[in-house]
Amino acid sequence: MAGSPPKLEHTAEGDPLYPAGQILRSAGISRQQLYQYTALGLIGGIRFNKNGYRLYPKSVFRHLKLIRSLNRLGYTLADIKELFSQRLVSQR
């Protein structure tokens, strides 16, 4: 059907996975920023489809919003990475 949105892929648990383009449009960031955040370990859970395209879990939307908010408050990406690692440690 013309004009219908593409069908999303899902994790084994049934959670939707979103293509990079949708993440970029929603978050208002560049592809380079998305890959930089991934390389720094600020976002994870990335999967690849059979064609090799990156797919992201819904949680990435929340992480990107938090990263951008903290960055606007003056935190560097290194600071944010440290905050995220402390949060993970404190949740164990």
Q: What residue segments make up the domains of the chain, in order of their start?
A: 14-90
Is the pLDDT at 7 greater than 90? The verdict is: no
| Cα–Cα distance, 83 to 75 (Å, whole number) | 10
Full-model pTM: 0.76
Query: Beta-carbon neighbour count of residue 3 at 10 Å?
Result: 4
If you average pLDDT over residues 52-56, what whole number do you get?
92
Any idea how long the chain is? 92
Phi and psi, residue 63, nearest 5°: -65, -45
If you average pLDDT over residues 59-71, what whole number do you get?
92
Q: Residue 3's pLDDT is what?
A: 53
| Cα–Cα distance, 26 to 81 (Å, whole number) | 22
Is the pLDDT at 2 greater than 90? The verdict is: no
The residues near 78 (Cβ < 8 Å, ≥ 6 apart) are: none
What's the topology of domain 14-90?
Answer: Multidrug-efflux Transporter Regulator; Chain: A; Domain 2 (1.10.1660)
